[in-house]
């Protein structure tokens, strides 16, 4: 059974139960209140007739005839007639406490105790009690018109219940189809996604859980398409980065083998440089694969943040001096030691400082800073260089992404440095973020929240 059918059946069942209970309650209430209304009406009429009769005749001799004339007592039974229905009211003479008009269990002439009379309705003529009307508890017999009225009420109630059930069925079917529409769309989109069509999107029709599910699916589809695109681009970039040094190496070796070129130390240096480039690319790819698999091993040890930044500054001080760039370290001496893999963090910071030196002009400034940020240590690399365009800033941590392709051709960088840096920091349980304004500079922030052992 499909979900739409299940929901429709569930809505219909709940509606039928609710309608049935409501109809039963209304029917019981209507029957009870109508019977009570008839009893009150008959009692009022009975009291009025007997009171008027005594006031007119001064006795009770023919009072039953007057009641029969008004239909409050059945006519005399004829042979073969069914027994009359029990009478709901009894008339008792006040003077001798004898039953005049019998009913229920009360027989004609039966003497009634005072405590029973006290529960009845006294009949007063000129201030004197002449009789008492007792109620037997029997339901008054309904007339044909009253039966017809009650029957029409019950029929109307039945029609209303059936109409409510029909409306409940229609609304249940509509609601079920509305509720399951997003799931049908998600199912179709998921099947298309499984067939390789990664550009699937489903409309977000509400802000409830189904709407959140549709939005999450759209985000997943977009992320998957983006990841596939990046994977394809990465494969092309790897092929390109491998092809260039291999072409150089192959060309030199072929020329040397054919004795077109003579072996010289300079030519071997070129070949060796390309081999080193290949080795570095392979090592970078290996580091990324280990990080992706969660198998990047960290040799953690305690080190002061200032000492770590001082090591990085010492590595690049000569290069900064050559480029006439001021490189300084600012770190609070009271910061706690970091429990990190020193070699990995040096690799990350070296990559950030190297990039800062590459994009900072002469007489620029690069600052290595360590601060306490909400209980965590933040290592900051800030420069006042060219900055990164906003459209490129969100992609700089992607693999093989290069904001400046021309500079890549000059330096031979692989485009994996920042991706590796973020993977190393995340392996430490930290974060690596970047902020930049074109023409003002760039700030990279490493936040490490696990500095306690």
The per-residue pLDDT for range 293-324, each reduced to its tens digit, is 788 888 999 999 999 999 999 999 999 999 99
Please, are residues 73 and 87 in contact by the beta-carbon 8 Å criterion?
yes
Cα-flanking dihedrals φ and ψ of residue 175, to 5°? -65, -40
CATH class label, 209-292: mainly alpha
CA distance 204 to 337: 49
Helix (H) or strand (E) holding 331: strand 326-331
CA distance 319 to 312: 12
* Residue 434 predicted with pLDDT over 90: yes
* Residue 26 predicted with pLDDT over 90: no
**pLDDT value, residue 38:** 85
Name residue 436's beta-bridge partners.
442
Lowest mean pLDDT among 105-119, 174-188, 248-262: 174-188
* Residue 379 predicted with pLDDT over 90: yes
Name residue 437's beta-bridge partners.
441
**pLDDT value, residue 187:** 84
**pLDDT value, residue 136:** 86
* Residue 81 predicted with pLDDT over 50: yes
Please, are residues 358 and 320 in contact by the beta-carbon 8 Å criterion?
no
**9 three-state secondary structure:** helix
Q: Where are the domains of the chain?
A: 1-76+85-197, 209-292, 300-448
**pLDDT value, residue 82:** 64
High-pLDDT (> 90) share of the chain, %: 29
Average pLDDT, the chain: 85
* Residue 143 predicted with pLDDT over 80: no
Cα-flanking dihedrals φ and ψ of residue 444, to 5°? -105, 135
State CA 257 to chain mean position distance. 70
**pLDDT value, residue 325:** 94
Architecture of domain 300-448: 2-Layer Sandwich (3.30)
Tokens of 394: 């969100």
**Identical fold, 209-292 and 300-448:** no
């Amino acid at each position: 059974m499909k979900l739409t059918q299940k929901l429709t059946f569930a809505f219909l069942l709940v509606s039928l139960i609710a309608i049935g209970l409501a109809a039963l309650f209304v029917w019981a209430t209507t029957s009870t209140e109508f019977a009570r209304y008839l009893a009150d009406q008959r009692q009022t009429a009975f009291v009025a007739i007997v009171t008027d009769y005594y006031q007119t005749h001064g006795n009770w001799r023919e009072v039953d005839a007057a009641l029969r004339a008004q239909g409050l007592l059945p006519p005399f039974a004829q042979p073969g007639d069914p027994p009359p229905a029990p009478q709901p009211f009894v008339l008792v003479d006040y003077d001798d406490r004898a039953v005049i008009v019998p009913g229920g269990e009360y027989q004609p002439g039966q003497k009634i105790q005072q405590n029973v009379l006290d529960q009845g309705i006294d009949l007063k003529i000129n201030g004197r009690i002449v009789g008492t009307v007792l109620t037997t508890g029997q339901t008054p017999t309904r007339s044909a018109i009253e039966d017809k009225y009650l029957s029409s009420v019950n029929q109307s109630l039945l029609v209303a219940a059936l109409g409510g059930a029909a409306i409940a069925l229609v609304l249940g079917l509509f609601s079920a189809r509305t509720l399951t529409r997003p799931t049908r769309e998600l199912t179709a989109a998921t099947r298309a996604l499984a067939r390789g069509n990664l550009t699937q999107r489903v409309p977000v029709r509400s802000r409830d859980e189904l709407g959140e599910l549709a939005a999450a699916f759209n985000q997943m589809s977009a992320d998957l398409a983006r990841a596939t695109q990046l994977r394809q681009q990465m494969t092309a970039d790897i092929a390109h980065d491998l092809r260039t040094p291999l072409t150089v190496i192959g060309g030199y070796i072929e020329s040397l083998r054919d004795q077109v070129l003579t072996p010289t130390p300079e030519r071997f240096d070129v070949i060796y440089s390309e081999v080193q480039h290949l080795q570095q690319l392979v090592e970078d790819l290996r580091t990324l694969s280990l990080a992706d698999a969660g198998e990047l091993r960290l040799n953690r040890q305690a080190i002061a943040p200032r000492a770590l930044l001082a090591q990085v500054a010492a590595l690049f001080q000569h290069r900064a001096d050559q480029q006439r760039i001021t490189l300084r370290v600012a770190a609070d001496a009271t910061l706690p030691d970091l429990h990190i893999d020193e070699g990995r963090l040096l690799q990350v910071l070296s990559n950030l400082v190297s990039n800062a030196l590459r994009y900072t002009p002469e007489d620029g400034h690069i600052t290595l800073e360590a601060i306490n940020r909400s209980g965590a240590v933040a290592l900051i690399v800030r420069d006042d260089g060219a900055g990164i365009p906003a459209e490129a800033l969100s992609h700089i941590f992607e693999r093989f992404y290069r904001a400046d392709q021309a500079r890549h051709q000059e330096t031979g960088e692989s485009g994996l440095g920042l991706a590796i840096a973020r993977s190393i920091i995340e392996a430490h349980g930290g974060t690596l973020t970047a902020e930049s304004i074109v023409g003002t500079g760039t700030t990279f922030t490493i936040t490490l929240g696990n500095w306690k052992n």
